[in-house]
Chains A and B, each alone.
Chain A
Amino acid sequence: MNLRFLLLICLLGLGPSNAATDPQAVLKAVVDNQRGGSLQATLTLNITRPERQTQLVLEVASDGNERAITWVKAPPREAGQAFLRVGDNIQLYNPTLKRVLRLPPSGRSDSFLGSDLSYSDLAGRDLEQDFTPRVEAESDTEITLELLPRPQAPTPYGKLVLRASKPGFVPREVLYYDQRGQAVRKITFAQWAQVGGRSFPTQVTVEDLLRPGHRTQMVYSNYRFGLPIPESCFTVRALEAGC
């Protein structure tokens, strides 16, 4: 077998699946999958604690980008509350006070309706803006990215490890590590809906790894993608009156 034939075999063996993967492009694809475009849906929040379990039902309308409005429908003691996010601004409507309050920076540490999500998470910045991705592992069916914070990125985490399935770079899991290498938080995605060629996770579970038994599961139902959302839905008036 001559040298030229050997070289041909090697080249055929490499193939497109072994071409260098652009981690930035992968990360963009993952984030695009999470956005899914404009959305109206019912969101069920199941909050698990060692001593109890709580369920909330929310109605959500989002333009898939910088704006989203959420109304709490159940249980009765929480119903009537509403949240409007425009960019990094969050405003809350309290039905008891009948007032709209702007969430101050100090309030962003509070948990969202007692869940494992914080208000900071709701107005969280894009992964692409704050992290530099690197391919940690890759196979034919899956890819793992290691995301390291950019200098002065507003994130307290040391790194994120993102696992996505191929093809399509559908997000499966994100592990948040502190700056000492310990995993402190895990988000897993499941039950994907196909939306215009993208896979939107309709089930998202957030686990606090520092507190066993603390978990929040978000399940989207009655979802409609791509419908135009009226501008009036993203106004302060819509918090109380709906849209």
Chain B
Amino acid sequence: MTPKTTSAPALPRLAWRNIWRHRRRTWLLVLVVAYATITTILFWGVQDGFAQSVQVGNARFLSAPALITTPQYFEDPDPEQGLPSLDFLPRVEAQPGVKAAAPRLEFPALIRSAYTADAVRARGVDPLLEAKVSNLPGAIAQGRMLEQPGEVVLGQQLAERLDARLGERVVLDTSALAGPQALGLQVVGLVKSGIAPVDRGTVLVHIQDARVLTGLQTATGVALDVTRGQEARIAEALQPVLPENLRAYDLTQLLGGLSSAIGTKQSSTFLIGMIFSLFAALAVTSTVLVSVLERTREFGMMGAVGMTPPRLAAMVTLETVFATSLGWALGLVLGYALNYWMATQNVLGPVFASYGAAWEILGTGSEIYTAQSPLYALYAALTIALAALFSILIPARRVLALNPAEAMRTE
């Protein structure tokens, strides 16, 4: 009888049928891979979500998506290093990608109530323009945003520390170009953002008051609202339209060492993420190897009826790919569902808050959500790729070396 070779299309059908002949083993594989997939999705969702939280906190509360200032001020943030003029503003606002520009005058000050005093960094703003570049006005939980000189908005925790209430007067002391100056300002709003450095340190005053206090008639910088994700490109594109002694800094540069730390963390995170896939693939491979050992006699019979060793090896690899893919698909459904839940419910905020002040300096808020991306499915698919590779290297090679006659005699 002429040996009947198995046709190529029949091989996948055979592999698919084989995995359901050993349901328990198959479900074990599926669950292992599903678990690794879920873990991978959540891992990246948390990583990216946390990084986004740091960026949003810094870009929209503590700093700006992009900032135009003098290099001298960037190195030494003192009003004496402020902008020489604001004549360049119309050119900047006309640039593609720039949604809004708001001058700011920041300066160190002492804030006093009738009970105590504290050192702060005050920010003089144009109330109408600041709302376009910052989330601070939207985070005012009590009272309102500044409307005119003579008013001040405080972080809620700062107000509590000073024991200053809405409607009461606080005093701001500073010493800059105009020498020692002081102003009494009425508290009109309290900011509650959930970001500790913001709630503890925000002091917003009208830019006219800031100019009186510091003696600087322009600003220390111009905050820009730009297309998200394009901060670096737009900052670079702005350079030709700026005066020679000014520079545009994107958020990465403004974050400085923090940005480097996040970048380094992302690189090392990828390696850590690979480990999940690696261990899952090893678990799958070990299970498949056990399966091959147990099915030696079966493979011997299949070889005897005409299935060549390469096709046997391919079948084993296909079985691995199918079982892993099933696990991957199940893991995607469960993983993205869980990720979606954590992206809409503040599950992570209390977890990170329990670590205390260590996280606060990063500018994260009390609400941290996971990020969502289809890329996570690709990262998780690495498990399939590694499992297939290991399957080729180990169990499939064993099958390749099989002698059908000897295999059939195996108990």
Interface residues of A (CB under 8 A from B): 87-89, 104-109, 118, 120, 123, 125, 149, 151-158, 176, 178-179, 184, 210
Tell me, yes or no, whether B355 is within 8 Å of chain A by CB: no
B109 touching A105, Cβ below 8 Å? yes
Residue contacts A-B, CB under 8 angstroms, 6 given: A109-B110, A149-B169, A154-B171, A155-B169, A156-B114, A179-B114
Q: How far is the CA of A149 from the CA of B168 in the complex (A)?
A: 12
A179 touching B168, Cβ below 8 Å? yes
Closest to B120 in A: A106
Closest Cβ of chain B: how far from A206's Cβ, in Å? 15
B108 touching A105, Cβ below 8 Å? yes
B113 touching A156, Cβ below 8 Å? yes
State the 8 A-B residue pairs at the shortest beta-carbon distance, nearest first. Answer: A109-B117, A106-B119, A154-B182, A88-B180, A178-B114, A105-B110, A156-B114, A105-B173
List chain A residues, Cβ under 8 A from B171: 154-156
Closest to A125 in B: B182
B108 touching A104, Cβ below 8 Å? yes
Closest to A179 in B: B168
A152 touching B110, Cβ below 8 Å? no
B175 touching A105, Cβ below 8 Å? yes
Closest to B163 in A: A178
Q: How far is the CA of A216 from the CA of B110 in the complex (A)?
A: 24
B173 touching A184, Cβ below 8 Å? no
List chain B residues, Cβ under 8 A from A107: 110
B114 touching A157, Cβ below 8 Å? yes
List chain A residues, Cβ under 8 A from B113: 156
Known: A154-B173, A154-B182. A109 touches B116 (CB 8 A): yes
Known: A87-B180, A88-B179, A149-B184. A108 touches B117 (CB 8 A): yes
Q: How far is the CA of A156 from the CA of B173 in the complex (A)?
A: 12
Residue in contact with A106 in the complex, picked from B110, B114, B185, CB distance below 8 Å: B110
* Chain B interface, >50% SS class: strand
Closest to A102 in B: B175
* Chain A interface, >50% SS class: loop
Tell me, yes or no, whether B150 is within 8 Å of chain A by CB: yes
Q: How far is the CA of A120 from the CA of B118 in the complex (A)?
A: 13
Tell me, yes or no, whether B220 is within 8 Å of chain A by CB: no
Q: How far is the CA of A178 from the CA of B150 in the complex (A)?
A: 19
Closest Cβ of chain A: how far from B42's Cβ, in Å? 44
Q: How far is the CA of A123 from the CA of B170 in the complex (A)?
A: 18
List chain B residues, Cβ under 8 A from A152: 150, 183-185
Q: How far is the CA of A107 from the CA of B170 in the complex (A)?
A: 17
Closest Cβ of chain B: how far from A174's Cβ, in Å? 14
List chain A residues, Cβ under 8 A from B183: 152, 154
List chain A residues, Cβ under 8 A from B170: 156
Known: A105-B175, A106-B110, A149-B169. A184 touches B150 (CB 8 A): no
B173 touching A108, Cβ below 8 Å? yes
List chain B residues, Cβ under 8 A from A176: 114
Closest to B209 in A: A152
Q: How far is the CA of A156 from the CA of B185 in the complex (A)?
A: 9
Residue in contact with B175 in the complex, picked from A104, A118, A158, A178, CB distance below 8 Å: A104
Closest Cβ of chain B: how far from A7's Cβ, in Å? 49
List chain A residues, Cβ under 8 A from B173: 105, 108, 120, 154
Closest Cβ of chain A: how far from B411's Cβ, in Å? 85
Closest to A154 in B: B182
Having A88-B175, A120-B173, one finds 15 other A-B pairs with CB under 8 Å, namely A88-B179, A104-B175, A105-B109, A105-B110, A105-B119, A105-B173, A106-B109, A109-B116, A149-B184, A152-B183, A153-B184, A154-B171, A179-B169, A184-B114, A184-B115
Closest Cβ of chain A: how far from B207's Cβ, in Å? 16
Q: C-beta contact mask, B129-149 vs A, less than 8 Å → 1, else 0?
A: 000000000000000000000
List chain A residues, Cβ under 8 A from B118: 109
Closest Cβ of chain B: how far from A66's Cβ, in Å? 12
Tell me, yes or no, whether B112 is within 8 Å of chain A by CB: yes
Closest Cβ of chain A: how far from B115's Cβ, in Å? 7
